[in-house]
Amino acid sequence: MQKNGLHRLSRIARRHYKCLLLMKLTALVVLISCLQVSAEGFGQEVKLTLNMKEVTVGKVLKVIEQKTTYRFVYADNFFPAHLKVSVDVKEMAVSIILQQILQKTGFTFSRIDEDLIVITSLVKATQQFEIRGVVRASSGQALEGVTVGLQNSTIQTATNSRGEFNISVPEENGTLVFSYVGYVTRTMAILKDAEMKIVLEENIRDLNEVVVVGYGTKTRREVTSAITRVNADQFNKGNISNVAQLLQGKVAGLSVSRPGGDPNAEFTLRLRGLSTLGTNAQPLVVIDNQIGADLNTVDPNDIKTIDVLKDGSAAAIYGTRGSAGVIIITTKSGITGTPVIAYNVSGTMEKAGRFTSHMNANEYRQLKLGNDYGASTDWNKEISRNAFSHVHNLSLSGGVKGTSYNTSINYRNNEGVALNTGNQQFNGRLNLIQKALNDKLVLNINLNATRRKSQFGNSAAFKWATIYNPTAPVYSSDTRYNIAGGGFFENQGILDYFNPVAALVQNSNNGETKKFNFSGSAEYEIVSGLKFLVRYAQQTSSFNGYSYSPRTALSGGGFQKRGLANKRDDESFNQLYENTLTFRSKLNKLDIDVLAGYSYQDFLNQGFQVGAGDFLTDASSENINSALDFRNGLATTSSYKNASRLIGFFGRLNLNYNNLAFFQASLRREGSSMLGKNNQWGYFPAVSAGLDISQVIDIPTINNLKIRGSFGITGALPPSPYLSLERLTNQGGSYYAGNGVYLQTYATFVNPNPDLKWERKEEIDLGLDFALFDSRLSGSFDYYSRRTKDLIFNLTVPSPPNLNPTTWKNIGEIKNNGIELSLSYDFIKKKDLIWTSSVNYATYNITLSKLDESLKDSYVGASSLGSPGFSGLQVTRAIPGERIGTLWGIKYIGLKSDSTYLFDDGTGKPTDFSKAKEMVLGNGLPDFEFGWNNTLRYKNFDLNLFFRGSIGHQLINTYRAFYETPKLTGYNPVNTKFFNPALKDGKKFSSLEVENASFVKLDNATIGYNFPLASTTAGRAFKSIRIYFTGQNLFTITNYTGVDPEVRYTDVNDNGSINLLAPGVDRRETWVYTRAFTVGLNFLF
């Protein structure tokens, strides 16, 4: 039975303490040179009654460990086998007992911390040099219990709770070895006259590493489902504006994508592809036990670890929200000991990497497509800039007895490469842990506040820069062109065509996001091993948006409306209340871990928007009430407020037989108010098991080999509340009631469906974790097969007979299977030179296996190419029985002799447009994705190169579909290798604009240097200083002719809603792809 002492060793680390020492210290005779070789009492200490005869010393120590909080450090075969002792004491202090039993054995003991006792040999206690130092993790946390040994000798000690050690060695030219569970062992030459500072890197492959699972933790060894842990040191570096960016390419099966370099754009996340048509196609995010948290409420600097739960079994404990996987973020917490202060600063220069290629002014003149205004303007250059961003992070962590804390403040200022875009964010976090009642009560408080100011700009500026007449000047005072009086050159005669510089410079489009999260929990150990926890958390997120187009701006409508302002206010709030009861026990060799819990979560979203124009002066724009539109009934407003509730009961059983076989079963019963009355509650079961084969079969090259299998059911909720109800809406505006009076009209618009239920995903995962050749090669392999049934869909139903044209229904089924492989290999593992290379690889095969009969030939998942000219043209669709992501249209074959198009008639024969047959032109989802990371460390230098690629996806290059033709009057045509000046036909969309967009890019390259501080003056003030340089997006290998070949996982419908079934459309509003260079400094005080 383990006890929760105050000392800093984690439970798991303690359990394996001897295991560690066994590995490290076998056959060593331990010498110690501690502060005191003491036989004195420990002061206030526990008294024991013991009666044992002729037992090994180890046995006695074990009993003492069981009865007290003391822990002993020694090797298993440290005591000679013949050495037996007897003890018979009543209510005697431990120190006295120890003295008794160690008498005449040639051993002594010393307490190096509160309750950590090292047993040492009295032999050869001749020491000449006293070396001292401190060991920390890369995060700056002091590490307690690190074994510090002199290389090629038996001399050894361990660090105390402040990470400090003292060791006496016989000669001054030796090397010390530092080893610690879960960390990479390091060696370092002795520094005689200075305090040695050692930083240990966490070893992710270690089986004893603790990973976070739903409502608890497990060691890596015990994990029986597909869970990937990413530690802070593995995060992507450089210009990171979003937490999702940290994970890009790091986890097999997790796709993270944000095409273009818009600093305000969100990333799209997909775990094992699309598994739902419901609300959470993005994985569920849990931050410090707050379920459904917002990734952006945590600053990347504050994150300690990210655990990604990939399979259905791991996610099932999260019930109706687990279908798209779960990302669990754990922030840094404090450690008892000297306070650690860290300051990180970085600055980034970012520039546009690649613009949509078009004609320059001279080429445009030759094409005679529009008026020659005499200038030569590079519009791309005019709207962009070299953007400078900087990030500051100051954190303080530490703790005193019973209390630990971690607090940080962050400031980020990101500039976008487009004029007038960027954001400034301030974020503060406090994590506080307080123990009381003999450590039986643990109180935990997390507070986090964020305020971000954003300048969104207008992404259409990139489109207009591509197509605007390059012979037009940016500015003009000529009244024919200075139409709006703003001093800019404008032309009103062409659709969707504005001076892009004016669009960015004249208009403002800003917003402020405020987020406040609070989480508090209390855990009480009722009896040994049985803990009850209560948690309350709330998250508030609000957005205030404000945009204004002044009276002199043609784009944005300011000129026509005599100033046009828009204000919006959105707030989302949710509160979570949870209880859990956990019980841990051990029956012989069987570790049992049981969890039961209850969860209640309320969600509330509300907001409104006001748009109004007609201002007397731009100066009063922030006073929207001064807009005349209000007096004239022309102002627009909208508002919303909706709520939902989730209630869950859950339980889990974990069994671990002797670290050999593992079993887990869990069940959640959950209900959601968003579902139909008849189907509000559901069950989400999961089972998984694993077997560590390396424990059974002893093959020297195999260090670890575990097979595991799992099955789990998860759910997905509808995209918004109330969908099962028959609702009325103020439809079609007003209704004339005579005499100039207009009444509001109300009508139902959706049929009720009391049977609406959650989407149900069943998933099987078979996995293999392995470490070979002294753990130089390690990795894991997963095969999964999942099926999501009862897909939630807003189905078009026949009306008549239905009174309303749509019903939210459960129809259809998605199937997906794939493999995921992660491999890591230490190519070089020498004292001064380390080269580790790791690769992850994932495939998908997502098919829409079933769909309601009534949708058979319909354009489900259709996305239209858009205006102008292609607004009715559907270019994507989801076809039952086929892979999701289908790009749809007619197939280009060539040009006729008169330079008009020839298309495929469906049989491969050329025909003209009117007889061309629509067919599958490609797929917007990749066949596989991979990340390849290389870390090199040479003395104090480190180099990291990270490559990332997606292979096999196509993109519809909409820039080319709209503008790559010599026949478009006024617009500057797009000019790629496909541009054909001879083309005589009108622009049509076909396979000609569907391009292979496979790519490999050098995503991130970082070179860093750690200053050896001990011998410098600076070393007195700093614990460590690191400088690094990072380049992002340094090069991309692709055949794609657009600006960014990144996968587009979703598209946006005309009404602004997300279209999950329409990947593969590269929209004209995509920002340019950018390249960034960062220099950063990390200080540890």
Residues 387-446 that bind other proteins (CB under 8 A): 437, 440-441
Cβ proximity to other proteins: between 113 and 578 the closer is 578
Which of 27, 81, 495, 697 lies at the binding interface for other proteins (CB under 8 A)?
495
Q: Does 742 bind other proteins (CB under 8 A)?
A: yes
List Cα–Cα distances, 358 to 353, 924, 981, 1040, in angstroms: 15, 25, 13, 15
Looking at residues 443 to 472 of the shown chain, list those that interact with other proteins (rule: CB under 8 A): 469, 472
Looking at residues 39 to 68 of the shown chain, list those that interact with other proteins (rule: CB under 8 A): none
Cβ proximity to other proteins: between 234 and 965 the closer is 965
Closest CA to 326 of 315, 334, 316, 317: 315
Cβ proximity to other proteins: between 430 and 628 the closer is 628
Q: Does 796 bind other proteins (CB under 8 A)?
A: yes
Contact mark string toward other proteins, 956..975, x via CB under 8 A: ------xx-x-xxxxx----
Q: How far is the CB of 866 from other proteins (least distance, A)?
A: 11
Q: Does 651 bind other proteins (CB under 8 A)?
A: no
Specify the stretch interacting with other proteins by CB under 8 A; choose among 232-240, 822-830, 871-879, 1034-1042: 871-879
Q: How far is the CB of 535 from other proteins (least distance, A)?
A: 10
Q: Does 989 bind other proteins (CB under 8 A)?
A: yes
Q: Does 644 bind other proteins (CB under 8 A)?
A: yes
Which of 40, 857, 907, 1057 lies at the binding interface for other proteins (CB under 8 A)?
857
Q: Does 985 bind other proteins (CB under 8 A)?
A: yes
Cβ proximity to other proteins: between 416 and 611 the closer is 611
The DSSP secondary-structure symbol of 384 reads: B
Which of 5, 170, 557, 1012 lies at the binding interface for other proteins (CB under 8 A)?
557
DSSP string, 890-945: EPEEEE-TTS-EEEE-SSS-EE-GGG--EEEEEESS-SEEEEEEEEEEETTEEEEE
Which of 783, 859, 978, 1022 lies at the binding interface for other proteins (CB under 8 A)?
859
Q: Does 265 bind other proteins (CB under 8 A)?
A: no
Cβ proximity to other proteins: between 14 and 988 the closer is 988
Q: Does 561 bind other proteins (CB under 8 A)?
A: yes
The DSSP secondary-structure symbol of 993 reads: G
The DSSP secondary-structure symbol of 248 reads: T
| Inter-residue contact 102 to 96 (CB < 8 Å) | no
Q: How far is the CB of 558 from other proteins (least distance, A)?
A: 11
Q: Does 103 bind other proteins (CB under 8 A)?
A: no
Q: Does 797 bind other proteins (CB under 8 A)?
A: yes
Which of 43, 587, 625, 800 lies at the binding interface for other proteins (CB under 8 A)?
800
Which of 93, 766, 873, 895 lies at the binding interface for other proteins (CB under 8 A)?
873
Q: Does 1059 bind other proteins (CB under 8 A)?
A: no
Q: How far is the CB of 738 from other proteins (least distance, A)?
A: 4
Cβ proximity to other proteins: between 280 and 724 the closer is 724
Cβ proximity to other proteins: between 799 and 1039 the closer is 799
The DSSP secondary-structure symbol of 659 reads: T
| Inter-residue contact 407 to 429 (CB < 8 Å) | yes
| φ, ψ for residue 27, nearest 5 deg | 70, 15
| φ, ψ for residue 669, nearest 5 deg | -110, 120
Which of 42, 129, 543, 577 lies at the binding interface for other proteins (CB under 8 A)?
577
Q: How far is the CB of 797 from other proteins (least distance, A)?
A: 6
Q: How far is the CB of 542 from other proteins (least distance, A)?
A: 17
Looking at residues 193 to 252 of the shown chain, list those that interact with other proteins (rule: CB under 8 A): none
Token pair 């108010």 is found at 673
| Inter-residue contact 203 to 374 (CB < 8 Å) | no
The DSSP secondary-structure symbol of 681 reads: E
> Which H or E run contains 20?
helix 17-25
| Inter-residue contact 554 to 498 (CB < 8 Å) | yes
Closest CA to 238 of 1075, 1085, 989: 1075
Residues 6+ apart with CB under 8 A from 822: 228, 252, 779, 780, 781, 838, 839, 840, 841
Q: How far is the CB of 726 from other proteins (least distance, A)?
A: 5
Q: How far is the CB of 851 from other proteins (least distance, A)?
A: 11
Cβ proximity to other proteins: between 368 and 830 the closer is 368
Q: How far is the CB of 801 from other proteins (least distance, A)?
A: 5
Cβ proximity to other proteins: between 411 and 681 the closer is 681
Rounded CA gap, 492 and 446, in Å?
A: 55
Which of 572, 874, 976, 996 lies at the binding interface for other proteins (CB under 8 A)?
874
Which of 43, 633, 894, 1056 lies at the binding interface for other proteins (CB under 8 A)?
633
Which of 381, 641, 896, 909 lies at the binding interface for other proteins (CB under 8 A)?
641
Q: How far is the CB of 376 from other proteins (least distance, A)?
A: 16
Beta-bridge partners for 199: 136
At what angle are helices 94-102 and 57-67 packed, to 10 degrees? 170
Specify the stretch interacting with other proteins by CB under 8 A; choose among 160-168, 233-241, 347-355, 633-641: 633-641
- Return the structure tokens found at 325: 């996987």
The DSSP secondary-structure symbol of 70 reads: -
Residues 6+ apart with CB under 8 A from 116: 7, 9, 70, 71, 73, 144, 145, 158, 160
| φ, ψ for residue 655, nearest 5 deg | -125, 140
Looking at residues 754 to 773 of the shown chain, list those that interact with other proteins (rule: CB under 8 A): none
Looking at residues 714 to 733 of the shown chain, list those that interact with other proteins (rule: CB under 8 A): 721-722, 724-729, 731-733
Which of 671, 767, 812, 931 lies at the binding interface for other proteins (CB under 8 A)?
671
Closest CA to 932 of 1026, 1002, 1007: 1002
Rounded CA gap, 893 and 891, in Å?
A: 6
> How many residues interact with other proteins (rule CB under 8 A)?
116
Rounded CA gap, 919 and 906, in Å?
A: 7
Q: Does 881 bind other proteins (CB under 8 A)?
A: no
Q: Does 634 bind other proteins (CB under 8 A)?
A: yes
Residues 6+ apart with CB under 8 A from 706: 221, 690, 691, 692, 693, 694, 768, 769, 770
- Return the structure tokens found at 417: 């490469």
